[in-house]
Amino acid sequence: MTEHVVGLASHELTANVRNTHVAPLPKISDKESRWTAGPLTHAALKIAVEQFARKLRKGSGTPYLSHLFAVSALVMEHGGSEVQAAAGLLHDIIEDTPIDAPALQSRLTAAGVDDAVARHVVDIVEVNTDGKFGQPRNENTWHPRKHDYLNKLRAKAAGDPALLVSLADKVHNSEVTLVVIRGGTTATEFYTKPWFNAKAPAQMKYYTSLAGIFRERLGTDESAGPLVERLELAVAEIFADMTGPR
């Protein structure tokens, strides 16, 4: 489950983050699409809406679906396949709902998705799963969960499909946080909110580690590289009060 808040309308987020100094999108030909949405996209959308329609982003009244749609969109915008885009829609489902990996695969295949494709989606979602559904989420569990998550990413080779989904997830979270920081809040103040299970120093270490992994694994990728830069820029600005002028 994400530990970030939205608290602003989508047009405000765009105005405050997307139009500032961020890396440009890679140029993609408008003559042909990389892929066309099929049964997998329809199934993933249906499952995501069913499971998250009533959930909200922490600390705000923003529908949680906004995060899932944003992650999937970032995946699509940065070279992702339909499998990766579907995994973006479903990346939080195992940790935030009672649907486990076998149940997710069954739901996808029941909706007409090829079994091998469904398994591929589930594999990506499992890599992006941070802890187990129903597991206590507090300061004591935060550190081992993040440690395990980072190790799962470190174990992946450059270009592994799960990495782009994870990167998109972290970019959306960090850029949403950046809007709040630019509103006059420091990271030290922001991470004292009751819905966070770790304070700013631990969060900075975690996000710095994430940025390093993505830089190493995806930094030279033509499509994903600009997204890596967006994460680095956001993380640097979020924690500027802790690191001093750059």
pLDDT average, residue stretch 50-71: 92
Tell me the backbone φ, ψ of residue 100, rounded to 5 degrees. Answer: -90, -175
> Residue ranges per domain, the chain?
29-243
State how far the Cα of 93 lies from the Cα of 115, in Å rounded to an integer: 19
Decide: residue 111, CB within 10 A, 0-12 exposed, 13-18 middle, 19+ buried: middle
* pLDDT tens for each residue of 110-119: 999 999 999 9
pLDDT at 230 over 90: yes
- Report the pLDDT value the prediction gives residue 134, as an integer from 0 to 100: 87
Predicted confidence band of residue 32 (pLDDT cuts 50, 70, 90): low
What CATH homologous superfamily does 29-243 map to? Hypothetical protein af1432 (1.10.3210.10)
- Report the pLDDT value the prediction gives residue 127, as an integer from 0 to 100: 98
Packing angle, helices 82-90 and 65-77, rounded to 10:
160
Predicted confidence band of residue 19 (pLDDT cuts 50, 70, 90): very low
Q: 112 near 77, Cβ under 8 Å?
A: no
Q: Can you say whether the dihedral through the CA atoms of 77, 78, 81, 84 is positive or negative? A: negative
pLDDT average, residue stretch 166-182: 97
Please provide the DSSP assignment of 29-82 as one string. Answer: -SSS-S----HHHHHHHHHHHHHHTT-B-TTSS-BTHHHHHHHHHHHHHTT--H
The CA-atom distances, in angstroms, between 135 and each of 83, 101, 127, 138, 195 are 28, 16, 17, 9, 15
* pLDDT tens for each residue of 191-210: 999 889 999 999 999 999 99
pLDDT at 159 over 50: yes
